Structure 1
Amino acid sequence: MASEARRAAATLASGLALTVGGGLFVLAWHAGLYASAAGALLVVLWIAGASGWAVLHRPRAGGAAPAEALDPLSMRLLLDQVPVPLVHLEAGGARALNRAARALFAADERIVPVPPALADRAARRLHHEGRGWRIDAVEGRAGDRLIALVDVEAEERAAQDRAADEMIDILGHELLNGLSPIVSLADSAITAAAAGHEALPDILATLSRRIEGLEGFTRAYRTLARLPDPVRAPVRVAELADDWARLFAARFGPATRLTVEDVPRGVVTVDRDQLTQAVWALLQNGAEATGKGGEVTLRMTAPAGALVILVGDGGAGIPAAERARIFRPFHTTKPGGSGIGLSLARRIARSHGGDVTLEDTRATWFRLSVAA
């Protein structure tokens, strides 16, 4: 009777876990949180597979369990295939159940110390190693909890990138369709006006040049949506710093000074052209913010497997209300600005396994990091 009760409780718990996991999968899918949906689906499949295995290998009445019953090593190998970090929280502490959790907490099995957010049953977010995680938990017997950690920042970044891609592609397509016939008509008008009206050809020629400029501007927007994958090659960090200093001097001359600090020795493997484009957007942004007579600072570090670039300026700083919007495509506070420089820099950094962030300081400092 006791064994039957345990099997009934296990069946009920499996059914509940499958229901919760299925609900999380549906909600995440409808919300466009595809990483969460994939994680929930994998957890559901794991529970279903484990339950099915248990049913097929259930000991017969009066007999011993079959020799091929699922052993702990097989269960661990199965859990290791789940990309979502899984944690078992119990009275004695917390255990990492799979490879993703062991990598996140740098633990073989026991997680020491246990992050307070994991122990707090009311907590729904965990901030660990500079990243944000959503806590999805299933309650077990005797106060145990099975916790799945979902990378919130990865979800948000994927959603932002998808929205930006769609918006940029639609804008580029619509504007190009409207500008192409205008350019053709303007050229025809110039030819026709050559026979008569003296001022008309000059006016139309100016109009044609302006429209061609807008067409090129629109193509730049489309470039943001169709950024190619980086083509990495080894390059010395000092060469990159020299290139950027020369570009800055050629563009801004002696009116704005660039100070280059802490250039590390060594070689990094990056897409040189793309990285230059990203850093140039930050340098140009700093030069325009500080104005003539000002100074822009470029600092570089090369920790193991990465390159970190800091760009600061002596301008008035970015207002608090603008700090959350500066990386949005098309957003700009500068007259005549395109609003794609910082967006493009961030996309390039992320395609290199890094990011571009605005440091939480009174002075304006942008931090660009890439995996190198």
Structure 2
Amino acid sequence: MFRTVAVSLSLIAVAVRLFVQPLEEPSRTDMLSFAVIGLVYVFTLVYGLMLRRGQVDRVAAAVQVMGDLIIASALVFLTGVGDSPFTFLYLLAVIVASIVLDGRGALVTAGAGALAYASLLVAVKFSWLVPPISSTTPTRGRFAFLMASNVLALFLIAVLAGYLARQLSATGGQLSARVADLKRLDVLQRQILACMPSGLITCNAAGVVTFVNRAASSILSLEPRLPASTHVEALLPGALGADVRLRRRELTVRTASGLRTLGLTVTELEGSELGTLIVFQDLTELRRIEEDLKRADRLAALGTLAAQLAHEIRNPLAAMRGSAQLLVQDPGTDPGSAKLVEILLRESDRLSKLVEDFLRFARPPPPTKLELELEVLVAETVDMLRADPIARQVRVETALAPLRVPVDADQLRQVLINILRNAFQAAGEGGGVRVTLEPSGEQALLSIWDSAGGIPASDLSRIFEPFFSTRDGGTGLGLSTAYSIVRAHGGNIRVSSSPREGTEFLIQLPLQG
């Protein structure tokens, strides 16, 4: 590239000189100048083709240096040899040799250049060659001076350029090693940041996000590429609040996949201009498991209490009902008393059923699991409830994948009835209910969705508690019993509700017993 630029400037200079003096005929020197320039272009083309074909060994370098010596000798001869201003081109050839070859190559090039220059001096002195530009024949003293000074300069430049080339090569090798180390460290850093399970976000002093790792994008359900001016508060509202110096805290954020509970650590990077580092973990599932454990403890305690209370009520209730039956059978009972006794029997039956529900909740029988087509069980239950008056004006959709799952058919049917009846009542006339069944890894996912979405967020954490009901007249035992049955099957049950997205009960059952 340097050679091309230099010869192009020379061509421009010659062309400008001819343009300034257009009336003069081009001299022989001008024609030879164009010839030399063309020769340089030819050499440059040859070098370019050799480089393009990958021929960049020592032979190619030697060819380049030899071409530079030929060009330098041609220019020196054309401009009068001893009086030529282009003798410095030999020095450039030596410097090029020290770069593309080595110190020894620079010395060899210096010797070749000295030999070429000496040969030109001898040929001109003895008139073997006549330069195009007339020049004085050097005297013996000047001949010796030109010979000694140029040869000495060439070898001194060769030694100095060789030394500098060795230093440059050593420094370049060290720099290449450092660059390679930095690249390996950069790759390692990127792999660590990409593979770490914790989310990591960095932002500058203005709060604009500068880096988001793969885990953070997954946890927050972000697009692969964020807009350049995204503020960290748009991703983690409150992360840079007044309590930013707290080492560890929790933050609830809304993402495209729902609410997420994050365990957050915020660290200010050294130097206020560098910004802030935020590391967080998704604690949503952990907090959900904790809630399940707390709910299971509460259910166990309430179940024990309900069993004891039901046992204490059951015996006197049976005695009361027996006495009432005797009164009904007594022929001497007047009609008014008989009517009161009938009311007593009816209410005692209702109370007895409530006690049975308590006992079923408190001491649910262990499930008798049999492997069956779960989609058939679900379809039969849905078809049975479609005849219920509460479901007549409700749109019902089903998408049931065939799955064989070990379950207790009676208990699971009870779970479906409790949840589906609640869904039909919530959806109401013109509403919709959708039931889906699909496999997911080692689990079967049974989803029951209604379009109402009328469960307040404050009630979602209590919806499976016994005796808690959002419907007038409800006992609050249906969903509690359903929860206990699903847990007894080794599964789990989740609920989510919002007016925009509706209410969904998600039942997870293991595919293997």
TM-score, normalised relative to structure 2:
0.43
User: Could you tell me which of 172, 196, 211 is aligned with 1:113?
Assistant: 196
Query: Structure 1 residue 187: deviation in Å?
Result: 1.8
Work out which structure has the larger RCO, using CA pairs closer than 8 Å and 6 or more positions apart in sequence. 1
Query: Structure 1 residue 186: deviation in Å?
Result: 1.4
User: Could you tell me which of 298, 301, 323 is aligned with 1:160?
Assistant: 298
Query: Secondary structure at the residue paired with 1:317?
Result: coil
* Contact kept in structure 2, 1:290 and 1:315, CA below 8 Å: yes
User: Could you tell me which of 184, 188, 197 is aligned with 2:322?
Assistant: 184
Q: What does the per-residue CA deviation read over 1:322-341, in whole Å, with 9 as the maximum and x for residues that have no partner?
A: 32322110112323222111
Closer, same or farther in 2 for the Cα pair 1:210/1:157, shift >3 Å? closer
**Count of matched residue positions in the alignment of Structure 1 and Structure 2:** 243
* Contact kept in structure 2, 1:312 and 1:366, CA below 8 Å: yes
Query: Secondary structure at the residue paired with 2:388?
Result: helix
Query: Secondary structure at the residue paired with 1:337?
Result: coil
Q: What does the per-residue CA deviation read over 1:257-277, in whole Å, with 9 as the maximum and x for residues that have no partner?
A: 352332112322222221111
Show the 5 A alignment for 1:39-54.
none
1:365 aligns with 2:448: no
Query: Structure 1 residue 360: deviation in Å?
Result: 4.7
Query: Secondary structure at the residue paired with 2:406?
Result: strand
> Which structure has the greater CA radius of gyration?
2
Query: Structure 1 residue 157: deviation in Å?
Result: 4.0
| Paired position in structure 2 for 1:200 | 337
User: Could you tell me which of 214, 229, 252 is aligned with 2:351?
Assistant: 214
Query: Structure 1 residue 293: deviation in Å?
Result: 4.3
Distance in 2 separating the partners of 1:129 and 1:302: 25
Query: Secondary structure at the residue paired with 1:265?
Result: coil
Query: Secondary structure at the residue paired with 1:359?
Result: strand
Q: What does the per-residue CA deviation read over 1:309-357, in whole Å, with 9 as the maximum and x for residues that have no partner?
A: 1112233611233323221101123232221111111111111222222
* Contact kept in structure 1, 2:295 and 2:465, CA below 8 Å: no
1:233 aligns with 2:365: no
Q: What does the per-residue CA deviation read over 1:42-68, in whole Å, with 9 as the maximum and x for residues that have no partner?
A: xxxxxxxxxxxxxxxxxxxxxxxxxxx
Residue identity matched to 1:325:
R
Query: Secondary structure at the residue paired with 2:465?
Result: coil
User: Could you tell me which of 241, 244, 265 is aligned with 2:402?
Assistant: 265
Closer, same or farther in 2 for the Cα pair 1:190/1:131, shift >3 Å? same
Closer, same or farther in 2 for the Cα pair 1:339/1:185, shift >3 Å? same
User: Could you tell me which of 199, 224, 241 is aligned with 2:361?
Assistant: 224
* Contact kept in structure 2, 1:355 and 1:369, CA below 8 Å: yes
* Contact kept in structure 2, 1:299 and 1:310, CA below 8 Å: yes
| Paired position in structure 2 for 1:341 | 478
* Contact kept in structure 1, 2:385 and 2:391, CA below 8 Å: no
| Paired position in structure 2 for 1:353 | 490
1:175 aligns with 2:313: yes
Query: Secondary structure at the residue paired with 2:440?
Result: coil
Show the 5 A alignment for 1:46-195.
113=196, 115=198, 122=248, 131-132=285-286, 152-153=290-291, 155-192=293-330, 194-195=331-332
Query: Secondary structure at the residue paired with 1:366?
Result: strand
Residue identity matched to 1:197:
D
Distance in 1 separating the partners of 2:369 and 2:406: 6
Query: Secondary structure at the residue paired with 1:131?
Result: helix
* Contact kept in structure 1, 2:447 and 2:507, CA below 8 Å: yes
State the Cα RMSD in Å.
Answer: 3.0
Query: Structure 1 residue 281: deviation in Å?
Result: 0.8
Identity of aligned residues (%): 25
TM-score, normalised relative to structure 1:
0.58
Runs of 5+ in structure 2 lacking a partner? 1-194, 201-245, 251-261, 264-280
* Contact kept in structure 2, 1:255 and 1:293, CA below 8 Å: no
Residue identity matched to 1:156:
K
Distance in 2 separating the partners of 1:196 and 1:116: 79
Distance in 2 separating the partners of 1:293 and 1:316: 14
* Contact kept in structure 2, 1:168 and 1:222, CA below 8 Å: yes
* Contact kept in structure 2, 1:245 and 1:258, CA below 8 Å: no
Distance in 2 separating the partners of 1:271 and 1:359: 26
Query: Secondary structure at the residue paired with 1:325?
Result: coil
* Contact kept in structure 2, 1:230 and 1:351, CA below 8 Å: yes
Q: What does the per-residue CA deviation read over 1:154-187, in whole Å, with 9 as the maximum and x for residues that have no partner?
A: 6424422322322321331233244222212212
* Contact kept in structure 2, 1:330 and 1:338, CA below 8 Å: yes
* Contact kept in structure 1, 2:447 and 2:505, CA below 8 Å: yes
| Paired position in structure 2 for 1:277 | 414
Distance in 1 separating the partners of 2:378 and 2:287: 36
Distance in 2 separating the partners of 1:217 and 1:122: 48
Q: What does the per-residue CA deviation read over 1:191-242, in whole Å, with 9 as the maximum and x for residues that have no partner?
A: 33x3141232133123212212211221111101111222221212331232
Distance in 1 separating the partners of 2:303 and 2:354: 17
Distance in 2 separating the partners of 1:181 and 1:254: 40
Query: Structure 1 residue 288: deviation in Å?
Result: 1.6
Closer, same or farther in 2 for the Cα pair 1:230/1:207, shift >3 Å? same
Closer, same or farther in 2 for the Cα pair 1:129/1:335, shift >3 Å? closer
Residue identity matched to 1:113:
M
Distance in 1 separating the partners of 2:344 and 2:337: 10
Closer, same or farther in 2 for the Cα pair 1:331/1:152, shift >3 Å? closer
